[in-house]
Amino acid sequence: MEQTIYDRVKLIRESKKMSQAEFSNLLGMGHSTFGMIEVGKRKILDRHIKTICSLCGVNEEWLRNGVGEIFIENDDTVIDQLTGEYHLDQLDRRIIKSYLQLEESQRKVIKDYVKSIFLDQLKSETANEIDMEVESYRYELQQEKNIKTSSALQQSDENAG
């Protein structure tokens, strides 16, 4: 049996892991209206098709005729995947989307700036590690000097007595 547009609408909803109520809310239509569309008891309107394609990143040719890939890969669909996988919030999404929209030269400026921050941090950590090693070495030398001084004082006391 050939897949109908109604079957394809259901497939989209299921691929988004949404209930009929959630999907109908997303599309801005009543739950019962969407339920009847999904089972083929109500005609799907052109505006519904456009809304589904726009909001879900669906290939309109596939939705109407079953031709081509289901989803259109674009920045938003990639960001949607990242959002789910890495639990991104809206600020994360805006940062990524804004970065992707920058020209290459603008992205280079940002990357150079971030690299400089990391290099400064690395230099600071390295300097701190060196300072800690010097302090440790200074402590060891002081302990050795104290032992030598203590030994010299003991010998001096023994020789005097």
> Which tens digit of pLDDT belongs to each residue from 85-144?
888 888 998 999 899 899 999 999 999 999 999 998 888 888 888 989 999 999 999 999
Do residues 97 and 113 both lie within one domain? Answer: no
Q: pTM for the complete prediction?
A: 0.49
Residue at token pair 């674009």: 74
Greatest Cα-to-Cα distance within the chain, rounded to the nearest angstrom? 116
Phi, then psi, of 40 in degrees rounded to 5: 85, 15
Do residues 122 and 138 both lie within one domain? Answer: yes
Phi, then psi, of 17 in degrees rounded to 5: 55, 50
> Which tens digit of pLDDT belongs to each residue from 8-61?
999 999 998 999 999 999 999 999 999 999 999 999 999 999 999 988 889 999
Residue at token pair 């020209």: 103
Q: For the chain, what is the domain count?
A: 3
Lowest-confidence range among 64-73, 130-139, 152-161?
152-161
Q: Indicate which CATH number applies to the domain containing 11.
A: 1.10.260.40
Residue at token pair 């690299």: 115
Quote the domain boundaries for residue 113.
104-154
Do residues 88 and 127 both lie within one domain? Answer: no
160 within domain boundaries: no
Residue at token pair 């890495």: 86
159 within domain boundaries: no
Tell me, what amino acid is at 70? Answer: I
Do residues 2 and 40 both lie within one domain? Answer: yes
Do residues 81 and 136 both lie within one domain? Answer: no
Distance CA 93, CA 81 (A): 11
Tell me, what amino acid is at 3? Answer: Q
161 within domain boundaries: no
Distance CA 151, CA 94 (A): 70
Do residues 93 and 108 both lie within one domain? Answer: no
